[in-house]
Amino acid sequence: MSESLSWLTQPCLPIDAMAADAARRRQDHLTKPRGSLGRLEELAIRLAGLQGTPNPTSDPVQILLFAADHGVAAEGVSAFPQAVTVQMVRNIAAGGAAIAVLAQALDARLEILDVGMATDPGPIPGVRPERIGPGTANLARAPAMTDAQLAAAMNTGRAAAERALDGGARLLICGEMGIGNTTPATALTCALLDQPAEVIVGPGTGLSPEGVAHKADIITRALALHASEGSTPTELLARLGGFEIAAMVGALITAAQRGLPILVDGFIVSAAALVAARLQPELRHWLLFSHQSAEPGHQQIIAALEGDPLLDLGMRLGEGSGAAVAVPLLRLACALHQQMATFAEAGVSEADGALD
């Protein structure tokens, strides 16, 4: 029998407007012209509303890294071979990958989950085996996963977010590793935003223009194959998604239901966030967009979710790396909010006409 997804309909936690208002008032009394810290002020105020406290914090940061493979890789949609997924998971666990270095430098917690790489690598120290299957089916020819696999993947993501919450995390970063996963992410984005493949598709790990055109053809074929088979977010996720994408949808929804703010990474995580926001429209308030990925379709997802990324560094790595790079901004926003003196405390004169 399929695992239950009854939790999917539980509402997201409402934003605490009182805490946000208190944080805004504090910002307005700190020793600076009002608004002069720009988006750092907004970040502290948003985090206050999400965390339900006038004194927000970004720490501890929990990174959940979901790894999986994709049957559609057989269509030649990536610049890299499928074997790179497991090779990179070993590299992440050993500390040599970008996200491992960033997590270490940030003193952030990093949990790595194998939710279905193509072959079972056996035990890897530091990697949780939570395998849904040996990669998804080829979504250009069949549904990527069964309903039972979808439920298992989403529940795996939910359980990971619950572990993060139980461990006291105050900020969640989802990351992913999966050769070929810009193809399911693009297909889902096309289906949900009603856009043709050519508008969303991009080079992923580094396809040539011819490779991108071929990838667009594969995605167009997949969209046509599945078009008549249901268009609810979960139906689309099962047909066009991936195990790591479904797990991230489960983790993101759980975080928003339980009051854990989310720092969103790049294109694939944002595609998962788009699915999650279709299931729970209020979830969008829980999303802080860390960066604008170089993958072109990321812009459309961010626009659809009314996001405003903090950084634009030309990154397109995945792994949660773009979100990790933005953590210091959140830390500094919280430090300023908490530690700056008010005008009264410092004996500094306020602007003429300052109100309260």
Ligand X SMILES: O=C(O)c1ccc[n+]([C@@H]2O[C@H](COP(=O)([O-])O)[C@@H](O)[C@H]2O)c1
- Total number of residues that touch ligand DMD (CB under 6 A): 8
**Least distance in angstroms from the C-beta of 10 to ligand X:** 28
181 lines the binding site for ligand X (CB under 6 A): yes
Residue list 90-129, contact with ligand DMD (CB under 6 A): none
Please identify, among the stretches 92-100, 172-180, 220-228, 343-351, the one whose residues bind ligand X according to the rule CB under 6 A: 172-180
Residue type, 321: S
Residue 114 contact, options ligand DMD, ligand X, none, Cβ 5-8 Å cut-off depending on partner type: none
**Least distance in angstroms from the C-beta of 186 to ligand X:** 8
244 lines the binding site for ligand X (CB under 6 A): no
Please report where in the chains the tokens 């006038």 appear, as a residue.
54
Closer CB to ligand DMD, 130 or 265, in the complex: 265
DSSP annotation string for 96-161: -SHHHHHHHHHT-EEEEEEEE-SS-----TTEEE--SSSS---TTTS-SS-HHHHHHHHHHHHHHH
Closer CB to ligand DMD, 53 or 205, in the complex: 205
Residue list 146-165, contact with ligand X (CB under 6 A): none
Nearest CA among 295, 316, 328, 336 for reference residue 55: 336
CB within 8 Å of 350: residues ≥ 6 apart = 343
Tokens coding 276: 């999650």
Helical H segments across 227-348, by residue range: 233-240, 243-258, 267-279, 298-304, 321-339, 343-346
- Total number of residues that touch ligand X (CB under 6 A): 24
Please tell me the distance from the alpha carbon of residue 218 to that of residue 210, in angstroms, as a whole number.
13
84 lines the binding site for ligand DMD (CB under 6 A): yes
CA distances from 207 to 79, 188, 279 (A): 5, 20, 32
Closer CB to ligand DMD, 80 or 343, in the complex: 80
Q: Give the residue numbers annotated as catalytic, written as ranges.
A: 319
218 lines the binding site for ligand DMD (CB under 6 A): no
**Least distance in angstroms from the C-beta of 282 to ligand DMD:** 30
Helix, strand, or coil (residue 3)? coil
Residues lying near ligand DMD in the complex (CB under 6 A) are found at 80, 84, 88, 177, 205, 317-319
Residues lying near ligand X in the complex (CB under 6 A) are found at 78-80, 176-183, 204-205, 265-268, 293, 295, 298, 316-319
